[in-house]
Amino acid sequence: MKKTLLFSIACLFAINIFAQEENELIRCGNVLHQEALQAKFPDFTENVNSRFSEAAAVAAQPEHKSSGVVYTIPVVVHVVHKNSSENISDAQIQSQLDVLNLDFRGMNSDINQVPGMFANLAADAEIEFCLATVDPNGNQTTGITRTATNVSSFSISSDNIKQDALGGKSPWNPSNYLNIWTGEITGGILGYATPPGTPASSDGVVVGYTYFGTNGSAIFPYNKGRTCTHEVGHYFGLRHIWGDGNCGIDDGINDTPLQESNSGGCPVFGSPSTTSCGSQDMFMNFMDYTDDRCMFMFTNDQVGLMRYAVENFRNALLQNAEVACDPTGGEGCHDLTEGPIVMGFENGDDFGGWSVLNNNGDDKQWNVSQGVEPEWGPRTGNECMAYTWSYTAAADDWFFTPCFSVQTGRDYELRFWYATGNDPGFTFPENLRVVASASPTPDDILGTAEFEDIVQPYNPNLPNNNYQDVTLSLPDYGNTDIYIGFHCYSDADQYAMLIDDIEMVDITTVSTENAIAPEAFQAYPNPVSELLTMDFNFDKTIENLHINLVDLTGKTIHTETRENYGIGNLQLDVSNYPSGVYFLNVYADEQMTTQKVVVSK
């Protein structure tokens, strides 16, 4: 609908929301919020309108439509809460990210409900969203912040939810992250957002905690995540489909019909109430005001405007996404040829890249724990990974290893130990699922191993504390990156599921022709406490002899080289290294071998 564009906040955002009576909800608070911004920033109107008019003028041009290039937007969700209900779960937050990704890719399951007369206009924006894995300081993050507050309800006019000093949470750099706040908003407002051209301190999206995502605290009829979809549309520059006016004012988009006013509830297509300005209203558009279950689509030209806004006004988001959306936190995936992934869950272990997912949002999840002797505890050392029972809720809890790279033709093993809690006189079977996944979530599972009705009671008086060892061989997944996930899905009112001493190992056998013959190299004593002797007895002179000692994290802690070496012995002082397992990699021209070395003090 493109008829008359009026570039003033008073007209474009004239208050045309539901007539608000006591306790009535306001679907979108942009009108009120932008009036407050105009009062605070005198050039706000000019900045917003100049960007909108620029984007609207080119929105219909083919180069700004879906093009096969998918833009990824790094997101941080700021949970500002005064009570436990407002402190929404990770699972509820992830459900909202899932909705955004489906809606902005035109992959939402209800898009098939778009009426035939508009079906050819429904478009894939090719915009996706990720919870940031790297924060503005370069540290790893979940992309979620949690701020306890004494503020009962946040004002749309003061924007205090966005300010540390006023009981809210100040934004991460809004040029690099889409900041989304969730909390209690004053006045029955479901959400509001800022368009391109907004001052940085106010830029972002705010959604009430009972209208966010699809589970947890989300309430009908706003429990399908569409409040956030609507507000993110505003964040990318879209305006309400009726232009916040009447038939003489529009939204600046060519392929949306003129519309007299907003729609509410869940209208019936073709009914007299859904026609205005001489045509059928597109009430199922995400930028109208219908219930969540009755909005399904963006149009081609809406997509063109949003993509133009991303490319020209919010392009720093795309640059930052290369780091902020890297699931490894910028570190890259582990190369198992340089050493295995090993985790004993001990104090001082490197937990970088490990993650926990409380998928059902209750108050129980996997934790590193010393246990409660003599009923449960670690296999070795002082700590293990433990999921302990909920009286009322079945478990749905995950933890994931860091990612590692796998290659076709190589062989990999996952090794770990498990046990269950031991309450004498009682039996508590536990359920465990171990998966290979393309992401640290349950959404991209490649393979699964089930361990049902486990009864392996912890006993500190038995070998290995009565833990059971497991070795799983990974199938060939091609050349890709993998995470291993451990999923406890035990019934309610069980006891404890325990995991310890995880290893992810490349066990590929070096071909005989490329392996150093056993008689050509020996290392002893093993275990060793001080000097490791390496005897070499090659049948020819080795032009380049290269020796690495690698710890269990894959870090090379010693290296040395020799040229034109054939027969002799070298000594390696390991007295300063902590007790543990290491790998000695020896490269002799085109041949190599690896030997496990145990340092024991």
In a domain, 357, yes or no: yes
pLDDT of residue 66: 61
Q: What percent of the chain has pLDDT over 70?
A: 93
Nearest CA to 105 among 132, 70, 76? 70
Residues 52, 195 contacting (CB under 8 angstroms): yes
Range of the domain at 73: 9-323
Q: What percent of the chain has pLDDT over 90?
A: 61
pLDDT digits (tens, 9 = 90+) for 402-456: 999 998 888 899 999 999 999 888 888 999 999 999 888 898 899 999 999 999 9
Query: Does residue 95 register a pLDDT over 50?
Result: yes
Rounded Cα gap, residues 36 and 24, in angstroms: 21
Which of 274, 298, 323 is the C-terminal boundary of a domain? 323
pLDDT of residue 329: 58
- The confidence band for 16, taking pLDDT boundaries of 50, 70 and 90, is very low
Stated pTM of the model: 0.62
Rounded Cα gap, residues 104 and 101, in angstroms: 5
Q: What is the dihedral of CA 246, 252, 253, 254, to 10 degrees?
A: 90
Number of continuous H segments (helices) and E segments (strands) in the chain: 8, 26
Residue/partner pairs of 272-278 with CB below 8 Å, 24 or more apart: 276/247, 277/1, 277/247, 278/247
Q: What is the mean pLDDT of residues 467-495?
A: 91
- The confidence band for 11, taking pLDDT boundaries of 50, 70 and 90, is very low
Q: What is the mean pLDDT of residues 175-195?
A: 97
Residues 487, 433 contacting (CB under 8 angstroms): yes
pLDDT of residue 399: 94
Same domain for 343 and 212 = no
Query: Does residue 192 register a pLDDT over 90?
Result: yes
- The confidence band for 2, taking pLDDT boundaries of 50, 70 and 90, is very low
Q: Look up the CATH number of the domain holding residue 404.
A: 2.60.120.200
Query: Does residue 23 register a pLDDT over 70?
Result: no
Which of 295, 323, 351 is the C-terminal boundary of a domain? 323
Same domain for 357 and 454 = yes
Same domain for 354 and 233 = no
pLDDT digits (tens, 9 = 90+) for 517-573: 888 899 999 888 999 999 999 988 988 898 988 876 556 788 888 889 989 999 999
- The confidence band for 222, taking pLDDT boundaries of 50, 70 and 90, is very high
Query: Does residue 101 register a pLDDT over 80?
Result: yes
Query: Does residue 163 register a pLDDT over 60?
Result: yes
The helix/strand/coil state of 164 is helix
Residues assigned a catalytic role: 231
In a domain, 490, yes or no: yes
pLDDT of residue 518: 84
pLDDT of residue 513: 61
pLDDT digits (tens, 9 = 90+) for 286-307: 999 999 999 999 999 999 999 9
Rounded Cα gap, residues 573 and 520, in angstroms: 21
In a domain, 418, yes or no: yes
Same domain for 114 and 186 = yes
Query: Does residue 10 register a pLDDT over 60?
Result: no
Same domain for 159 and 101 = yes
pLDDT digits (tens, 9 = 90+) for 356-376: 888 887 878 898 988 888 899
Beta-bridge partner residues of 580? 599
Same domain for 457 and 488 = yes
- The confidence band for 12, taking pLDDT boundaries of 50, 70 and 90, is very low
pLDDT of residue 570: 92
